[in-house]
């Protein structure tokens, strides 16, 4: 069959036909049409260009590059050819080449807004955010109604942490295009990241209304619900997301977090294991699985999990802090080993952070500004110990600033805010921003109340924004940081005759390292359970991670030593396989299920306090004693038996009991611990009497004497300040 060469008119018609097929979505027919044109007109640059664009749309990126390169070779001054070649390079992650092509496009056509917008996106992906914003603003200068460039600008602002600007820009995008679902979705994320959860939910629900198939919006809505503590709603959204994206490992991981927060730890572990099946090297998966195992009290496996996560991400500050926090539960480590482990944080992270200079006025007797940093200025045990500090500070000599990493402030947050000179919500600020605020507030003494707990701000302390820095209360061990000068304790928790196995200088308060503010909504003390039941009930409302094998050994011996007694264990995570495992552990030790009361739920917050109405004697744990739990037990009329440990964490309850006036409840060995609990259990009259009097004893003791405590604390602060002034 003979062929004829296409004339100019036929070429134009053929290109028009190919373009119509292309625009109509019939890509394969369009490709054949472009190829036929090039067979007869191999120097037709537009055909090469459009075949390159189409090949990119079909995912044939290398072919696209060849076609576009051919178009450029034939017509190197056509800006669109360079711009579209840049698009292909960018899709392949070849950003330097993409940037070069976009620049060539702009060089050939300086008023080309699309090229500026594409260049801005390439710079964004390359991490050059200042340059990205500059190019996008130029695109908008050339075309003020260029919605894609405006949307891209909002993304850059969000990446830069300019959240207010990003929110304003996203709002402008959806004002111009109410159906711009990606902008609605990203606006929801930006609002969530600012803690504006109600607005975020409304915006994300708007995105879902526009496109019910936008699974990313369900994921972001789940995170918003989760941040607000609406766990059931969060789980529903995570489920919808994972139904559409079952292979998304992070989704399984986050769903596990919500399940663990609900106390459904078995189900959480299943989610983490699925995440790790999908991504075996997922740091968050190993870390979160280890945390769930910690919650269940499976200590050896938990430690392996944390160390595995750290091996995958040696520079991850939070994973290292999680490991250090966990090690306090391990009976096999002494304080010398724990100090060595904690110094890793300084070596790996703290030593790399530049310290700041200070211009605070060196007057040893002037009024001081004290800053307290914590994520726990809310309904949390730390709040019960910091409240009397704030209430009794001498406002003429000490101004208190609370730097609160609190996502959802509650009534307790409001009460603390009213007691402080200033309240600064730092939850949405990065470490540098927090340090900047501390320096702007001219804080003289900065106090860490979190240490290596979740959401701790140790990187802020590492750069030393205040001339004197202290760690206190929220973490029962050294931080390991050389930038923190002092650690507050007392002579019982850290005896002066012992070597100082802390990176900080120890400062001992009198009579105790803490002062307790009981909750005014605590229930009234009821009658003694032993008088009702005819048998003694021992009890533990501690974290299950504190119930290690040595603790269980002691409790099993005690139950055998006190015939017909019972042991009540309650925790909101105490269900499913966790409860079965503990029951099996006691059975191995010769204690049958009938001696255990393990069917009560102890919810977080104050909801667990009524359970003390069923307990005659609270059994403390070791090596990490339950300080807050012991204070709650005493307030509810329940005596506490403790073992004096080998480090601060194991001596906190002993310190409290000495202040209370009951040193006879402090044992020096595990056997003595059993004997003291047995002897108290056999003195029913004493248990009945204690039930009626302990609350008042505590009220009148040094434990609740805020005025006396604050004098000791302020004297310590003043001496620290004078030492700094003296250089």
pLDDT digits (tens, 9 = 90+) for 430-475: 999 999 999 999 999 999 999 999 999 999 999 999 999 999 999 9
Question: Based on the structure, what is the number of domains in the chain?
Answer: 4
Contact yes or no for 368/337 (Cβ under 8 A): no
Residue 602 is part of a domain; what is its CATH number?
Answer: 3.40.50.2000
Full domain range(s) for residue 200? 8-206
620 with 486, same domain? no
Report if residue 219 sits inside a domain. Answer: no
Residues 347 and 357 in one domain: no
Same domain (yes/no): 84, 71: yes
133 in a domain, yes or no?
yes
Q: How far is CA 639 from the centre of its chain?
A: 35
Counting Cβ atoms within 10 Å, is residue 455 exposed (0-12), middle (13-18) or buried (19+)?
middle
Extended strands (E) in 426-581? 445-448, 468-471, 486-489, 505-508, 537-540, 566-569
Do 344 and 382 lie in one domain? The reply is: no
Establish if 76 belongs to a structural domain. yes
Sign of the Cα pseudo-torsion (92, 93, 97, 99, in order): positive
Q: Please report, for the domain that includes residue 363, its CATH number.
A: 3.40.50.11380
Please state the pTM of the whole predicted model: 0.90
Q: How does pLDDT run across 86-127, given as a tens digit for each residue?
A: 999 999 999 999 999 999 999 999 999 999 999 999 999 999
Query: 244 in a domain, yes or no?
Result: no
| Residue 222 forms part of a structural domain | no
Task: Looking at the structure, tell me whether residues 332 and 406 fall in a common domain.
Answer: no
Same domain, 556 and 656: yes
Residue 139 lies in a domain: yes
pLDDT tens digits, residue range 616-636? 999 999 999 999 999 999 999
Take residue 697 and report the two structure tokens written for it.
């004893």
Phi, psi of 218, rounded to the nearest 5 degrees: -65, -40
Q: Which of 300, 316, 351 is the last residue of a domain?
A: 351
- State the average pLDDT over residues 218-223: 98
- 316-356: pLDDT as tens digits: 999 999 999 999 999 999 999 999 999 999 999 999 999 99
Question: In terms of Cα–Cα distance, which of 343, 348, 342, 308 is closest to 327?
Answer: 342
Contact 570, 600 (CB under 8 A): yes
Q: The CATH number of the domain where 28 resides is what?
A: 1.25.40.10
- Dmax (CA) for the chain in angstroms is 117
User: Do 635 and 622 belong together in one domain?
Assistant: yes
State the pLDDT confidence band at 602, using cuts at 50, 70 and 90. confident
pLDDT digits (tens, 9 = 90+) for 14-62: 899 999 999 999 999 999 999 999 999 999 999 999 999 999 999 999 9
Taking residues 498-519, report their average pLDDT: 96
Contact (Cβ atoms closer than 8 angstroms) between residue 720 and residue 468: yes
SS3 706: helix
Same domain for 311 and 366, yes or no, is no
pLDDT at residue 9, rounded to an integer: 58
Give the C-alpha distances (Å, rounded to integers) separating 121 from 28, 86, 148, 185.
Answer: 29, 11, 11, 19
Show the CA angle centred on residue 301, arms to residues 298 and 306, nearest 5°: 115
Same domain, 189 and 261: no
Q: Could you tell me if 447 and 497 lie in one domain?
A: yes
Q: 103 by DSSP, 3-state: which?
A: helix
pLDDT of residue 219: 98
The pLDDT score that the predictor gives to residue 7 is 44
- Decide if 485 is inside a domain: yes
Whether 227 maps to a domain, the answer reads no
| Structure tokens that stand for 336 in this block | 């010398």
* Residue among 516, 480, 485, 520 nearest 501 (CA): 480
The three-state DSSP-derived secondary structure of 288-324 is HHHHHHHHHCCHHHHHHHHHHHHHHCCCCHHHHHHHH
DSSP string, 136-167: HHHHHHH-TT-HHHHHHHHHHHHHTT-HHHHH
Given strand 640-643, what is the order of strands in its sheet? 596-597, 566-569, 537-540, 617-619, 640-643, 666-667
pLDDT tens string 156-212: 999 998 999 999 999 999 999 999 999 999 999 999 999 999 999 999 999 999 999
- Confidence check: pLDDT of 3 > 70: no
Q: Are residue 27 and residue 97 in the same domain, yes or no?
A: yes
Residue 425 sits in the same domain as residue 454: yes
């Amino acid at each position: 069959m003979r062929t004829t060469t296409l004339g100019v008119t036929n070429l134009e018609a053929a290109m028009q036909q190919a373009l119509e097929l292309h625009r109509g979505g019939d890509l394969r027919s369009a490709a054949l049409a472009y190829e036929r044109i090039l067979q007869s007109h191999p120097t037709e640059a537009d055909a090469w260009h459009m075949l390159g664009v189409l090949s990119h749309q079909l995912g044939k990126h290398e072919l696209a590059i060849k076609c576009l390169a051919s178009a450029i070779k034939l017509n190197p001054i056509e800006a669109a050819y360079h711009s579209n070649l840049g698009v292909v390079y960018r899709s392949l992650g070849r950003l330097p080449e993409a940037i070069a092509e976009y620049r060539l496009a702009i060089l050939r056509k300086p008023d080309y807004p699309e090229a500026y917008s594409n260049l801005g996106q390439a710079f964004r992906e390359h991490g050059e955010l200042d340059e990205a914003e500059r190019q996008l603003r130029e695109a908008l200068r050339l075309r003020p109604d260029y919605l894609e460039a405006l949307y891209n600008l909002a993304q850059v602002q969000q990446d830069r942490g300019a959240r207010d600007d990003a929110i304003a820009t996203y709002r402008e995008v959806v004002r111009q295009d109410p159906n711009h679902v990606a902008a609605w979705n990203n606006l929801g994320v930006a609002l969530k990241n600012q803690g504006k959860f109600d607005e975020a939910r409304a915006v994300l629900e708007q995105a879902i209304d526009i496109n019910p198939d936008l699974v990313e919006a369900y994921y972001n809505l789940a995170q918003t619900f989760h941040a607000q503590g609406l766990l059931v709603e969060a789980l529903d959204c995570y489920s919808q997301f994972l139904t559409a994206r079952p292979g998304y490992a992070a989704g399984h991981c986050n769903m596990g977090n919500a399940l663990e927060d609900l106390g459904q730890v078995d189900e959480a572990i299943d989610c983490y294991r699925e995440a790790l099946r999908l991504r075996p090297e997922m740091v968050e998966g190993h870390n979160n699985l280890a945390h769930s195992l910690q919650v269940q009290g499976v200590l050896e496996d938990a430690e392996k999990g944390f160390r595995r996560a750290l091996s995958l991400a040696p520079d991850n500050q939070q994973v290292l802090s999680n490991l250090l926090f966990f090690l306090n539960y391990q009976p096999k480590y002494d304080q010398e080993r724990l100090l060595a482990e904690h110094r890793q944080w300084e070596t790996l992270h703290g030593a790399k952070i530049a310290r700041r200079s200070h211009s605070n006025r060196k007057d040893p007797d002037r009024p001081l500004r004290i800053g307290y940093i914590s994520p726990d200025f809310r309904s949390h045990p730390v709040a019960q110990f910091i409240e009397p500090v704030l209430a009794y500070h001498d406002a003429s000599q000490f101004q208190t600033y609370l730097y609160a990493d609190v996502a959802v402030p509650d009534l307790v947050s409001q009460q603390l805010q009213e007691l402080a000179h200033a309240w600064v919500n730092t939850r949405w600020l990065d470490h540098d921003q927090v340090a900047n605020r501390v320096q702007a507030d001219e804080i003289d003494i900065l106090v860490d109340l979190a240490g290596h707990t979740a959401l701790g701000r140790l990187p802020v302390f590492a750069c030393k924004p205040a001339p004197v820095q202290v760690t206190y209360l929220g973490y029962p061990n050294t931080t390991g940081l050389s930038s923190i000068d002092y650690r507050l304790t007392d002579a019982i928790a850290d005896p002066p005759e012992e070597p100082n196995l802390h990176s900080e200088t120890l400062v001992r308060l009198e009579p105790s390292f803490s002062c307790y503010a009981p909750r005014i909504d605590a229930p009234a003390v009821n009658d003694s359970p032993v008088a009702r039941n005819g048998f003694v009930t021992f009890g533990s409302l501690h974290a299950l991670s504190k119930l290690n094998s040595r603790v269980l050994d002691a409790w099993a011996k005690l139950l055998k030593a006190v015939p017909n007694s019972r042991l009540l264990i309650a925790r909101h995570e105490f269900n499913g396989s966790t409860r079965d495992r503990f029951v099996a552990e006691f059975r191995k030790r010769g204690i049958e299920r009938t001696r255990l009361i393990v069917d009560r739920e102890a919810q977080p917050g104050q909801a667990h306090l009524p359970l003390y109405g069923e307990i005659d004697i609270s059994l403390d744990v070791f090596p990490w004693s339950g300080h807050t739990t012991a204070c709650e037990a005493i307030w509810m009329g329940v005596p506490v038996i403790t073992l004096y440990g080998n480090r601060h964490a194991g001596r906190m309850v002993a310190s409290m009991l000495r202040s209370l006036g009951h040193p006879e409840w402090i044992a020096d060995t595990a056997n003595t611990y059993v004997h003291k609990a047995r002897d108290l259990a056999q003195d029913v009259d004493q248990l009945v009497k204690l039930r009626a009097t302990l609350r008042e004893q505590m009220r009148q003791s040094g434990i609740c004497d805020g005025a006396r405590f604050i004098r000791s604390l302020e004297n310590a602060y003043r001496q620290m300040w004078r030492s700094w002034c003296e250089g």
